[in-house]
Amino acid sequence: MINSIQLFGLVLLGGLAAGEASRRLFSLPRTTGFVVFGLLAGSSGLNWITAFHIESIQLIIDLALGLILFELGYLVPRSAAGAGRPRLFAGLGIALTCGLLTFALFAYWGFSTGSALFAAALCLATSPAITIATCSDVGARGERTDLLYTMVAINGCVAFSAVALLTPFLNDSEAAGTLARLGEGLGSIIGSLILGGACAGLVLLGAEKLEKQTEHQHLLILGCIVLGVGTAIHLEVSVFLPMLIFGFLVRSIDRERKVIALRIASDARVFLVITFVLAGAALDIAYLGDYWPEVLLIALTRLAGQLLASALAGKRLGLSLRESGLLTVGLQPMSSVALVLLANTQMLYSGLDPKLVGMLLATILLMQLCGPLATQTAIKGFGEASKLILGRPPAKVPEAAKSHGGTAP
């Protein structure tokens, strides 16, 4: 049995090799290779990476996801109220339409109202890691890429808030009333907002003092993410919502661009590889064999809800019908955060139906495998991929022209 240090090296080297093979040999995003390597090294394959190993580095996983969500919030472009309002309403419409349809599907299958709502909330979140990594790989830059980041961020906010609100209602072992449970959920959301704002304030104040010193600012941001994640765990509030709020507030308030953001796809790629490889290792491909009809229905229902809302909002967003469809395709990857939320909820509350858990795990696995290609297809369809995948490494780009995730550094 390998130890945690060996595991760390295995994840990094194996992920690197699989990611490069995926990109160079099959013209697929590197993230697909990361996930496939995780499947091969986990319980679905050689069983090199076990549940014990994953649990032993859970802190690193939480920090990696915190950093990813910080960057997603930071990538949401600033906009005037008049321009931002249509995007906010469109994002809420996409999330709510998708959520209602998936809730109806789970309720039709006979799951309890609380379980069906929880499952629908997990299905809302689009993977920020897949979106950021794939956009970086293809050099995505432009207005439509910025719109995709905005929709992914709104989906995440709605999903994380819904999970925080619903989690207290899943605990049947306590005799708390409805108002007490609702208060607990709302308290978690409010605490997350305050924590995210506090982290943003600390970074903005620190950036003012440190000026344009990249290494020091990166240390400042990473330290705030570590402190924020640890504080969220200590306060028993959402770990992920504060980080998303943190990144968004830093970008929105820092109008003079004094903050030098930490980029997960370049400055801290090690965390990105860890996230995808361990997500693949934690999933069992056997679930797809057991629940593939239900998984296809969940995926199609999710797609239909997002497509309907995107088409209805297309005119307000300045999108053609084709672009609305491409935006929907880009929203398909399911977040690996959903895997963590599901595992945490299952550990705290044993009342979740095993069949529901299996169906959700299988759906997350399918979307982890197909999601990177979906995002890549959307960006190429938008015509905003500056690095075309030709089965070879991309040409070197001058430092001043580099773009991480579609926004200027």
Q: How far apart are CA 60 and CA 229, in angstroms?
A: 11
| Helical pair 336-348 and 354-382, crossing angle rounded to 10 deg | 160
Identify the pLDDT of residue 149.
95
Q: What is the pLDDT of residues 175-195, one digit of tens each?
A: 677 888 888 889 999 999 999
Q: What is the pLDDT of residues 382-402, one digit of tens each?
A: 999 887 544 444 444 444 444
- pLDDT (mean) for 317-337: 91
**Would you place residue 292 in the very low, low, confident or very high pLDDT band (cuts 50, 70, 90)?**
very high
Identify the pLDDT of residue 399.
43
Q: Where are the domains of the chain?
A: 66-268+292-365
pLDDT of 83 higher than 80: no
pLDDT of 315 higher than 70: yes
Task: Tell me the two tokens of residue 123.
Answer: 């299905």
Q: What is the pLDDT of residues 192-230, one digit of tens each?
A: 999 999 999 999 999 988 888 888 999 999 999 999 999
Q: Which residue has the tokens 């507030």?
A: 249
Identify the pLDDT of residue 390.
44
**Would you place residue 80 in the very low, low, confident or very high pLDDT band (cuts 50, 70, 90)?**
low
Identify the pLDDT of residue 383.
92
Q: How far apart are CA 260 and CA 212, in angstroms?
A: 7
**Would you place residue 404 in the very low, low, confident or very high pLDDT band (cuts 50, 70, 90)?**
very low
- Between 224 and 57, the more confident residue is 224
State whether CATH 1.10.357.10 applies to domain 66-268+292-365.
no
Confidence (pTM): 0.88
As beta bridge partners, residue 126 has 334
Q: Which residues have C-beta within 8 Å of that of residue 14, sequence separation ≥ 6?
A: 37, 41, 277
Q: What is the pLDDT of residues 119-168, one digit of tens each?
A: 999 898 888 989 999 998 888 989 999 999 999 999 999 999 998 898 88
Identify the pLDDT of residue 395.
44
**CA–CA distances in Å: residue 165 to residues 14, 186, 314, 346, 351:** 38, 6, 30, 16, 17
